[in-house]
Amino acid sequence: MDLGSIATAMVTPFGENGKVDEGRLHALVHYLIQNGSDSIVVCGTTGESPTLNEEEKAKIIRLAVEAAGRKVPVIAGTGSNNTAATIEMTKKAEAAGADGIMLVAPYYNRPDQRGMYAHFKEVAGSTKLPVMLYNVPGRTASRLEPETVIALSCIPNIRAVKEAGGDLGAMTRIIAGTDRGFRLYSGDDGLTLPVLAIGGDGVVSVASHVAGPEMQRMVVAYKSGDREEAARLHAEVSRLSEALFSRPSPAPVKHALKLAGFDAGTVRLPIMPLDGEGTRIVGQAMSDFRAATGA
C-alpha cells in the first residue's frame, strides 16, 4: 500500500444546490495530481464523510477512480463505529474501483483494544483490498494503541496506518514492531518531517491541497540530505497548516483552495463557512506562505 510521500485527504466539492459536484470533483482530482499529490484519500473527515450518505460515498469513490485513471492510487474512507455497516461500505468501495480502504478507529461506542482488533480483523477479512488503519483520538475519543497496530499488521492485507495521535514515541514503536512493507503516515501536516526522520513514509495531508509542490520539495530536500532546506519548508507548511485548522475543517482549506484558484464550493452543516476573522487568518497565511516559498 504505497501511497507515495504525499497523500491528499481530498475535500468533497459541492455545487450551489449542496449536492456533490461531479465536474468539480473530476477537476479537483486532476488538479491535485498535477500539484504534488502521490495519492488521494476520499470520503475521510476532510471530505465531510459524516454528512455523506452511502450512495454519495460510492459515487465519490467511483468518480475519483475514473478521474485518477490509475495515475495515482485512490483510497476510500469506509470506516465507522458499526462493523457490519463498515463491511457493506467497503464492498461498495471495492465495486467502485478503489485501490484501498481507510478504516477509522470506532468512535462514540469506543471499544477496548480487544474490540478494535476484532473490528478491524473482521473488516479486513471481508475484502481483498489493502487496508490503512486510522488513529485519530482527537476526533474519536478512542485510541488505537501501538501494540494493537502491530498485531493487526500481521493480517496480510492490513498494510498501513495513518497516525494522527501526535505521539512520535508511539509511531516509533509501530515502525520498530512492524515489517518493512508496513507503511506509517502522519495524519498531521506539522509532523510530516519528524515522521520521515523516524522512518515513516509520509503524510495524509490537508495542506497539500494548496502546498503540494512545496511539500514534495521538502521531502526531496530531506531525502537528498539538505536538512536546512527541508526544515525551512517544514516550518512554512506548519504555519500554513495551523491556519487551515484555525476553524472547523474543511472550511479553511476550501477557502484556501478558492484563493489558489480552485472553487470547491461550500461546506455542509453543521460545519459553517468561515467568518470574517477566519477568512482573514487563512488569507494572511496563504499570502505569507506564497511569499516565503515562491508558490
Residue 283 in domain: no
pLDDT at 82 over 90: yes
pLDDT at 295 over 90: no
pLDDT > 70: percent of the chain: 100
The whole-number pLDDT of residue 16 equals 87
The whole-number pLDDT of residue 1 equals 79
Residue 288 in domain: no
> Range of 164's domain?
6-226
Summarize the annotated binding site for pyruvate as residue ranges. Answer: 46, 204
Residue 244 in domain: no
pLDDT in tens, 260-290: 999 999 999 999 999 999 999 999 999 999 9
pLDDT in tens, 117-152: 999 999 999 999 999 999 999 999 999 999 999 999
Residue 120 in domain: yes
Residue 108 in domain: yes
Kindly report the average pLDDT of the chain as a whole number: 97
Cα gap 266→247, rounded to integer Å: 14
Report the number of distinct structural domains present in the chain: 1
Residue of 59, 162, 185, 222 marked active site: 162
For every residue of 94-140, DSSP letters joined together read HHTT-SEEEEEPP-SS---HHHHHHHHHHHHTT-SS-EEEEE-HHHH
Q: CATH code at 20?
A: 3.20.20.70
User: Is there a catalytic annotation at residue 31?
Assistant: no
pLDDT at 85 over 80: yes
The whole-number pLDDT of residue 21 equals 97
User: Is there a catalytic annotation at residue 134?
Assistant: yes
The whole-number pLDDT of residue 171 equals 98
